[in-house]
Amino acid sequence: MNTTKSLSVRWLMLAVGVVTMLFAGIIYAWSILKVPFAIELGFAADALALNFTLTMCFFCLGGLVSSWMVKKLGTKITVIISGILAGLGFVLTSFIGEGGALLLYITYAVVSGLGIGIAYIVIISTVNSWFPDRKGLSSGALMMGFGASSLILGNLADMMFKTNFGWRNTYIILGIALGIVITLSAFFIKRPDDSVTLPAPKKSGGAKSEDFEIKDYKPTEMIRRFTFWRAFVCLICITAVGSSVISFARDLALSVGAEAALATTLVGVLAVCNGLGRIITGAVFDSMGRRFTMIAASILTIIAAGVTLLAVSISNLPLCIIGLCLTGMSYGTSPTVASAFTSAFYGTKHFAANLGVMNFNLMCASFVATLSSTLMSSSGGYTLPFMLLLALSVISLVLNLTIRRP
């Protein structure tokens, strides 16, 4: 395949990947999708919070087994299986009745979480293989699609809940659409073969370049590197700030004097900034290099946590809005950095498996978000949670400054 044709094909791959990730990201709209279970079925808040934590756990497990499935079954069959699981989980969730928390965990967290986790890693690794020269941009665009789902499909689901469709039919429609989109993507998404000519990775000069030998690390080799653990903990700290704020963003806005309509709108603004942060981070990674991007991500997270802490301390709504926007952008840096960093430091040969391991930072961060909510409930305010989040963001910067070589 000549260079011109391969360039056209890879942008098609990216477009299909972004659309697929947009649908797969619906699992992150749990703050909206959980409402019927709380209002109509009377599920307790802690039971619903546990469902999201379990979802993140099985999402990460799905990513971990995805590379094994690709080796055994191939990319197409693996993506088809993931689409069936993701869609089926949503459809089965629509049949849950009162007292069915265990069933919710099985259908939504286990079945859908596992399916989307598998699709997430396979799509990212496959599409990124077409962009050796623009790993950051490719990762950022895919992550933007995933992050934008809460705003687009989440709000669409919320509107459908309030119509004659009702929440059960909405879940069925979402499940069918999710299954179809992911399954269809299996017939478009594939890795470039030997006949494909792609642009070589760009060589950065000066301070942007990092002096280390490029090597393909297996997951077992990667986790034995101290640098991996520094990056892993760093990503936990950055992700924890965003995931904590997302979990109580609406109530946070209300606490500083926002009207109910504005507080709901700010949740959407947070999602938009999350998407922007993902694609901007990808572009910065390509142009400014790994080190600059990761340090900038930590600094942005420190500013976001600091501004929001000040806002809740003096009960200032404009500052809170700024803090929420900055938090959304800082949260968006984490998945893009995780993808681009894993590829840059540990190679492309075992990228899918390595990213599956790196993505366990999401699961760890979800427990920090639970701790933040507990601190908020026990203290009756947001000062203590944001003191914790600010401390974590500072830790992320310290860790970032020490990352030099794989």
Task: Determine the average pLDDT of the residues in 225-235.
Answer: 93
Give pLDDT, residue 83.
96
Say if residue 147's pLDDT is above 80.
Answer: no
pLDDT in tens, 360-392: 888 888 888 878 878 887 888 889 999 999 999
Arithmetic mean of pLDDT, 309-336: 92
- Residue 215 DSSP class: -
**Measured between alpha carbons, how far is 290 from 305 in angstroms, rounded to an integer?**
23
Give pLDDT, residue 208: 52
Contacts with 11 (C-beta within 8 Å, 6 or more apart), sequence order:
none
Q: What is the mean pLDDT of the chain?
A: 86
What is the pLDDT at residue 4?
Answer: 57
Closest CA to 335 of 297, 384, 308, 379: 297
- Between the alpha carbon of residue 300 and those of residues 77, 186, 245, 264, 307, the distances in Å are 40, 37, 15, 24, 11
Long-range contact pairs involving 267-271 (C-beta distance under 8 Å, separation at least 24):
267/31, 268/151, 268/155, 269/321, 269/324, 269/325, 269/328, 270/245, 270/246, 270/324, 270/325, 270/327, 270/328, 271/147, 271/148, 271/150, 271/151, 271/154, 271/328
d(CA 110, CA 249): 26
DSSP-derived secondary structure letter, 106? I
pTM here is: 0.79
Q: Is the pLDDT confidence value at 85 over 90?
A: yes
Q: What is the mean pLDDT of residues 242-261?
A: 82
pLDDT value, residue 404 = 80
Q: Is the pLDDT of residue 3 over 60?
A: no
Name the H helices within 74-130. Answer: 75-93, 101-104, 113-128
The model's pLDDT over 172-214, given as tens digits with 9 standing for 90+, comes to 999 999 999 999 999 998 888 777 767 766 654 444 556 666 7
Task: Say what percent of the chain tops pLDDT 70.
Answer: 94
- DSSP letter (8 states) at residue 266: H
SS3 content of the chain, % helix, strand, coil (to 5): 80, 0, 20
Q: Containing H/E element for 178?
A: helix 166-185
CATH of 3-185, one of 1.20.1250.20, 3.20.20.60, 1.10.10.10, 2.40.30.10: 1.20.1250.20
pLDDT at 206: 40
**How many CA atoms does the CB half-sphere of 89 hold within 13 Å?**
27
The architecture (CATH level 2) of 213-402 comes to: Up-down Bundle (1.20)
The CATH 1.20.1250.20 portion of the chain extends over 3-185, 213-402
| pLDDT bucket at 56, cuts 50 / 70 / 90 | confident
Query: Do the Cβ atoms of 250 and 111 come closer than 8 Å?
Result: no
Query: Under the phi-then-psi rule, with left for phi > 0, alpha for psi from -120 to 50, and beta for the rest, what region is 189?
Result: beta
Per the structure block, which two tokens stand in for 57? 């756990």
Give the separation between CA 327 and CA 382, rounded to whole angstroms: 15
Q: What is the pLDDT of residue 82?
A: 96
pLDDT tens string 259-272: 877 877 787 788 77
| Confidence band for 351, pLDDT divided at 50, 70 and 90 | confident
Average pLDDT over residues 110-130: 91
Percent of the chain with pLDDT over 90: 40
